[in-house]
Amino acid sequence: MAATSRIADADRASAEMRGCARRLEFCAQTLGCRVPRERHDGRIDAVFQRACNIALTDGGIITLLAQNCANIPHGVRLTCSPRLDRLFRRGMLVRLERERIGFDDGAIVVLLGQTPTWTPALRPGGR
């Protein structure tokens, strides 16, 4: 009986694993000062090896950046440098929330959490 029970448990676990979609999670290292922190929807507009432009439905833009890129005011820089052109495609749906950015209905997630906000040191008219 014990062997039959273990086989049934293994079959059940295998079926559950087949039904689970894998999800990729990344963490943000910095958030640009122009990145909104409230909920927005959008779509990926352009994809490059180290950057990905996201067009928000309200007309704004956010750029997802690999770690080896410089900070920009409307950018979200990751803690790693994956090939973004292998992960994302133009037209992919995006949902920006306070704690995360979800791509493709949550298949890929960028965790924002307590990510520090980056602000450029240059000020107009400053000395």
User: What pLDDT does residue 127 have?
Assistant: 59
8 Å CB contact between 11 and 96: no
Is 123 inside a domain boundary?
no
**Is the model more confident about 21 or about 122?**
122
Dihedral, 65, 50, 87, 43 alpha carbons, nearest 10? 50
Dihedral, 19, 107, 68, 42 alpha carbons, nearest 10? 170
User: What pLDDT does residue 80 have?
Assistant: 97
User: What pLDDT does residue 14 have?
Assistant: 39
CATH of the domain at 58: 2.40.50
**Is the model more confident about 90 or about 9?**
90
* Number of domains forming the structure of the chain: 1
**21 — pLDDT class (breaks 50, 70, 90):** low
Is 1 inside a domain boundary?
no
Is 2 inside a domain boundary?
no
**2 — pLDDT class (breaks 50, 70, 90):** low
pTM of the model: 0.79
Is 9 inside a domain boundary?
no
Host domain of residue 57: 23-118
Residue 10 has pLDDT above 60, yes or no: no
Is 111 inside a domain boundary?
yes
